Chains A and B, each alone.
Chain A
Amino acid sequence: MAEADTDAPADAAERELTMSRAMVEAIAHEMETDDDVFVMGEDVADYGGIFDSTEGLLEEFGRDRVMDVPISETGFIGAGVGAAQEGMRPIVELMFADFFGVCMDQIYNQMAKNTYMSGGSVSVPMTLMTAVGGTYNDAAQHSQTLYGTFAHLPGMKVVVPSTAYDAKGLMHNAVRDDDPVVYMFHKRLMGIGWMPAPEGPKTGVPEDDYTIPFGSADVKREGEDATVVTLGLHVHRALEAAESLAEDGIDAEVIDLRTLVPLDTETVVDSVRKTGRLVVVDEDYESFGVTGEVVGRVTEAALDDLEAVERVAVPDVPIPYSRPMENEVIPDSSDVEEAVRATRE
């Protein structure tokens, strides 16, 4: 059924899809081929998901398999865990990652730990998908990225697609994986009408199913002078920065991590061995997060090759509402550009 097709260039396919369409296509395919796959979440049925992550599934599969659930995240995420332990493959949506606070026990003490605590006798093949990210002025409770929080807690795989092509392949993988997978999609990349996406996430997507193995970072742009490691929305901001740096003769390599757990350290380290300079860009809070983790791993593996390191992330403040302040704290392409330049000083 699945052909491993990891490095197919995005433009090989004839049709282009938005990231949300690509995700839905993968989910629909999995639902068609496996009766144990079902979807539940708030507003996933008639609304099709606030960010279009389940658009059209109700019409195709009916209310039994596309379930609107009460605003009871502890209840329905926990129910996802229970159903998964029975061998089903639930796809459960937590509408915004920010809402994890009301249901984190089911996520990190049940979903993530039951396999370990049971000595491997229990598995939890569940996909928890959730929207992340700011850049639309929705303030501190609706704009967080929280990659670090989820990746910090052992027992769940953490996936962050940046293009439609990746979104589909990673979703196929997530649903088929026997472990819990947290699939974190950035609202700004989905291609929804009311939140315009940047250039980039809409890509060619093959009609057939394909998987992208977890832990395989993607070199989105090759370069010799500095390595920019990032994920999600910031892949596109980093690519924009790289284009602008190229005008000044600075050749940046841009690596999209695609998954945080597992993290493809090797691709990152190989790149740094070549460029000598590392910039890590993240939309999550700076401290104790992705930027520190990547720097830590590269330092352990390739300290001698490292000439300079810069981190670009949200400076440990909740996301403010008003536009000038939100712009200040969420990194943009000029922040990435500056950081790359700083590694060369």
Chain B
Amino acid sequence: MFEDMVTARRYEERLQEEYLEGKQPAFDISAGPIPGELHLAAGHEPAAVGVCEHLRDDDTVTAPHRPHHVAIAKGVDLERMTAEIFGRETGLSSGKGGHMHLFDPDAKFACSGIIAEGYPPAVGAAMAAEKRNTDQVAVAYAGEGATNQGGFYESLNLASVHDLPVVFVVEDNDWAISMPKERVTAVDDNTKRAEGQDIPSARVDHNDAVAVYDAAEKAVGRARAGNGPTLLEVQVHRRMGHFMGDAEAYRPDAEKERLDAIDPIDRLEERLRDEGVDGERVDELRDQAEERVEDAIEFAKDQPEPDPEAAYDDVFTNPPSGVTDEEPGEEAISAGGDD
């Protein structure tokens, strides 16, 4: 868990550096090696690792617009993910998806930039598991802002009436871009809403990865045993602006709030030390994480940019004639993208 957390943090620190390259002094969103929006998840790591630790490769995860920490915890191929974020040909989606739209079928991971829209597909994955009588589970992630969206309620209800093996994870960081939770959400705690849909739930406060791990063990266990859905809300802190380039003028106390919030990584590290894990081992884990991240970034930067013409591929798996110049067979091969 610790290793995934430090990997996720280090990964995002490096992405941030790369992202800002070429965008300064005047921030220009389309300049530099990583274009488009970038939403970082520093402070959210416990919600990712505490849950994904209990998952198998064949369990499905859907993540929202802030996906990297969850992707890392779920075991998404780090090199190809990075190549995707850099918009390279060998990226997970051959450069078509980008940072908010990472798809790794091998790790059974997907995400969407549309708020709350990862919930229904997770319910669908759980439905497939139930119909096929496997013991796979599905996990859907979203922020507390997303829980005001219709798709959230509809998914909870659907999963509840069909007792589907799905775990809904809410990352409550108190903010939806510039809107504080108390101003746009009627309840301070989504376990109340889960109760309304007859779904068992738990809320884990204060960024505690071990507490998330324990709560998730029950939730995933319940789903795997065929006992239906659970909602797990995790209190986290958004340690950065909503997206890179967000000056957070709406949140004048942001820096202070951050200093006051205990960093979940420090917290876990302290716990490891308390439990007798020696400092050298901790440093070693940090070094390994750093190396892994550096390798992924180096890999990504070495990859070629896509051929502009590749923009026409992959609209369909089985393109109707006339849609592209290529034969359907060739299409299917190019969709693999990892050669």
- Chain A positions within 8 Å of B, measured between CB atoms, are 42-43, 45-47, 50, 68-75, 98-99, 101-102, 135-142, 193-196, 315-318, 320-329
Contact = CB atoms under 8 A, between A and B. Distances in A.
A322 B95 contact: yes
A325 B36 contact: no
Q: Which 10 residue pairs are nearest across A and B when measured between Cβ atoms?
A: A322-B87, A321-B98, A137-B35, A322-B95, A328-B308, A70-B148, A46-B250, A47-B178, A325-B311, A137-B36
10 contacts: A42-B179, A43-B179, A72-B148, A138-B98, A140-B96, A140-B97, A141-B101, A321-B84, A322-B95, A323-B35
Nearest to B31: A196
Q: Which of A42, A74, A315, A321 has the most CB of B within 10 A?
A: A321
A45 to B, nearest CB: 8
A217 B164 CA distance: 55
B95 A325 contact: yes
Contact of B100 (A139, A196, A323, A325): A139
B37 interface: yes
Given A46-B249, A322-B91, 10 more contacts: A46-B178, A47-B250, A70-B176, A140-B97, A142-B100, A321-B87, A322-B96, A324-B305, A324-B306, A325-B308
Contacts of B250: 46-47
B29 to A, nearest CB: 5
Contacts of A45: 178
Contacts of B95: 320-322, 325
B312 A137 contact: no
Contacts of B116: 71, 102
Given A71-B176, A141-B114, A315 B306 contact: no
Given A71-B116, A324-B305, A325-B310, A139 B101 contact: yes
Contact of A323 (B87, B93, B249): B87
A70 B145 contact: yes
B112 interface: yes
Given A47-B177, A321-B36, A328 B309 contact: yes
B176 A42 contact: yes
B315 A74 contact: no
B21 to A, nearest CB: 14
Contact of B28 (A195, A315, A322): A195
B149 A137 contact: no
Interface string B108-126: 0000111111000000000
Contact of B36 (A72, A98, A138): A138
A139 B149 contact: no
A317 B184 contact: no
B200 interface: no
Nearest to A325: B311
A185 to B, nearest CB: 17
B114 A98 contact: yes
Interface of B: 26-30, 35-37, 84, 87-88, 91, 93, 95-98, 100-101, 112-117, 145-146, 148-151, 176-179, 183-185, 245, 249-250, 305-312, 315, 323
A327 B308 contact: yes
Contacts of A73: 149
Given A47-B178, A68-B184, A70-B184, A142 B37 contact: yes
A320 B151 contact: no
Nearest to A70: B148
B150 A72 contact: yes
Given A47-B178, A136-B29, A320-B95, A99 B306 contact: no
Contacts of B305: 322-324
A68 B98 contact: no
Contacts of B177: 42-43, 47, 50
Given A46-B178, A69-B184, A71-B116, A138 B88 contact: no
Contacts of A193: 26-27
A68 B150 contact: no
Q: Which of A69, A142, A194, A318 has the most CB of B within 10 A?
A: A194
B95 to A, nearest CB: 3
Given A70-B145, A137-B87, A318 B308 contact: no
B306 A71 contact: no
B179 A139 contact: no
Nearest to B310: A325
Nearest to A99: B114
A305 to B, nearest CB: 31
Given A135-B30, A194-B245, A322-B96, A71 B145 contact: yes
B98 A137 contact: yes
Contacts of A140: 96-97, 101
Nearest to B150: A74
B130 to A, nearest CB: 26
A322 B311 CA distance: 9
B96 A71 contact: no
A102 B114 contact: yes
A307 B271 CA distance: 78
Contact of B306 (A70, A316, A322): A322
A321 B97 contact: yes
A44 B250 CA distance: 11
